[in-house]
Amino acid sequence: MESIKEHIGFVVGSGVSPLSGHSMNAATAITKIAAAEAAGVRQIWMNQEYLDTLTIFAAAALKTSAMRLGTAIVQTYPRHPLALAQQALVLNDIAPGRLRLGIGPSHRPIIEGIFGLPQKKPLSHLREYVEVLRGLLWEGKVNYHGEFFNVEVTSPSTPRIPILISTLGEKAFQLAGEIADGALSWLCPVPYLLRIGLPALRKGAAITGRSAPPSLVAHVLVALTTERHAAMVAGHQLIDFYTRFPFYVKMFTSAGFPTTVGGAAPDSLVDSLVISGDEDMVTSRFSELLNSGLDELMVTLLPIIDAGDEQFRLLHSIGGLKS
């Protein structure tokens, strides 16, 4: 029987976007990845933030042996799919079969506000991006001429690296069902995932005749504390940042938590997103979520008192799970 920990990944990093100004040192990230594997964790995820995730993974791969390395996410607009495929091929040579490539269009304040690139038709752009990327990584050749990309090239190898896409709204989940190997949610309340996300994934899979929908990866926040107020404060520190993004506000509202752009997240939303308690309470909740219909969990730690100690305890709690 496959262990439950095979379905639980740990987020290395701050869990926020480049707009926040938070980003860890690359050497620290590599050390944390190695520590996660030593604790028995099978999957880590890392956001792009300011540092190049795939470069960090290439270094971390040499200090680990079996852990899966997942990007959640690499932004598509600043990086041509051929360039991303080149990086992915190198990493697969270093760590065969361990990369899971999570990509997404990100948000206009980042793509247009920071990179200075126009962000038009993000889902159409993502669909074309995946088609080019899959041709390169799965079929070994691309002859694609679309609205956004014109690519004719062959690939030296076909490692069939899983391609997952970011999912927030219903249309994105449906797109994942049509074209991706997984749907990476971020700050989506579990009831929203089960009521909106999962049916849309199934619908997308049915449209393209797939026998089953791709994996649904749920993002969960964990606070190792039994003090509700402490968990609430930590949750607000992360979640309130995302209310500046209209797409998140729309999703929160659709999930039943009316939110205004730039305002504080409702306490009920924080309660829905944050798992708190001691190690046994947290891991018990992990089991409940995986039994509810979710395929995987992507766990972000919310530090309360001692981030290093709490990360150590959470990693070993995940790594010690048996079934």
Which contacts of 130-136 are long-range, i.e. CB under 8 A and separated by 24 or more positions? 130/103, 130/163, 130/165, 130/179, 130/180, 131/179, 132/81, 132/82, 133/81, 133/84, 133/85, 133/101, 133/103, 133/163, 134/163, 134/179, 136/81, 136/82, 136/85
Mean per-residue pLDDT for 6-16?
Answer: 84
Q: Residues of the chain with pLDDT > 90: what percent?
A: 92
**How many residues does this entry show for the chain?**
323
SS3 state at 314: helix
pLDDT digits (tens, 9 = 90+) for 20-78: 445 678 999 999 999 999 999 999 999 987 889 999 999 999 999 999 999 999 999 99
Looking at residue 23, its pLDDT comes to 61
Q: Are the CB atoms for 60 and 52 separated by under 8 Å?
A: no
Measure CA 56 to chain center: 16
| Structural element, H or E, at residue 44 | strand 43-46
Looking at residue 18, its pLDDT comes to 45
Other CB atoms within 10 Å distance of the CB of residue 14: 16
Q: pLDDT-derived band of residue 245, with 50, 70 and 90 as boundaries? A: very high
- Say which range, 40-44, 102-106, 111-115, has the weakest mean pLDDT: 111-115
Looking at residue 3, its pLDDT comes to 86
d(CA 30, CA 62): 10
Dihedral of the CA atoms 119, 120, 126, 128 (nearest 10)?
A: -130
Mean per-residue pLDDT for 1-11?
Answer: 89
Fold of 4-319: TIM Barrel (3.20.20)
d(CA 104, CA 46): 13
Q: Are the CB atoms for 231 and 173 separated by under 8 Å?
A: no
Handedness of CA 162, 175, 217, 45 (dihedral sign): positive
pLDDT at 1 over 60: no
Mean per-residue pLDDT for 220-230?
Answer: 98
For Cα atoms 99, 52, 89, give the angle at the middle one, nearest 5 degrees: 35
Which residue ranges make up each domain of the chain? 4-319
SS3 state at 84: helix
Looking at residue 192, its pLDDT comes to 98
Mean per-residue pLDDT for 120-131?
Answer: 97
Backbone torsions φ then ψ of 232, nearest 5 degrees: -65, -45
Looking at residue 13, its pLDDT comes to 82
d(CA 192, CA 188): 7
- Closest listed residue to residue 322, CA positions, set 286, 278, 275: 286
Looking at residue 19, its pLDDT comes to 46
For Cα atoms 243, 244, 249, give the angle at the middle one, nearest 5 degrees: 45
SS3 state at 276: strand
Query: What is the token pair recorded at 19?
Result: 């707009």
pLDDT digits (tens, 9 = 90+) for 78-101: 999 999 999 999 999 999 999 999
